[in-house]
Structure 1
Amino acid sequence: MAESSDAQALSEWVTAVVRELGLEGALDREGVVDMVLDLTSDVAHGVSRPGAPVTAFLVGVAAGRADDPAVAARDYAQKISALADGWDRDGGA
């Protein structure tokens, strides 16, 4: 039951943030949520837990500078997830 409650809370939160930031219609909310959760999971487990939200922010900034932010965000998330998957915690890339 907690999982359903968490999913509902997340959905409501994302809807409120999208509205507050004026992003209605600018992105596929469900796809973005899954992408960000996957990206931050990869970074948290492969690199550093505190690095996960910082990475999501950096990907968002980079995507926001692109001509097509939604496409760029997916591309950057895949690229950074691959980087995290190959990351050696002792020595970097």
Structure 2
Amino acid sequence: MKGDFDERDSGVSVELMASDPVLVTSALTEVEVGRNLTRRLAGEAPEEARARFQLELDAFALVAVDATTCNEAARITDQTLCRPLDSVHLASALR
């Protein structure tokens, strides 16, 4: 979905995803993107965007937000002062 909206870091995100054959994301992504689609497409029919997102998400390995991921996210937050949700995504990528 990064390539679908004109944002400051969209180009970099698309390049990074294209550079690695293994794509990993947190299961939390589905919740976050769903909310963002609803917010950004207010007043529009989001069904097409949601269907496209589901197709894109199928290319990713989803990492569960389990105790191991949460423990690693807490460690990352403590060490970097990163925002908690960002830490969950980083911990997921490290798994």
TM-score under structure 1 length normalisation:
0.28
Query: Which of structures 1 and 2 has the larger relative contact order (alpha carbons within 8 angstroms, sep 6+)?
Result: 2
Higher helix share: 1
TM-score under structure 2 length normalisation:
0.28
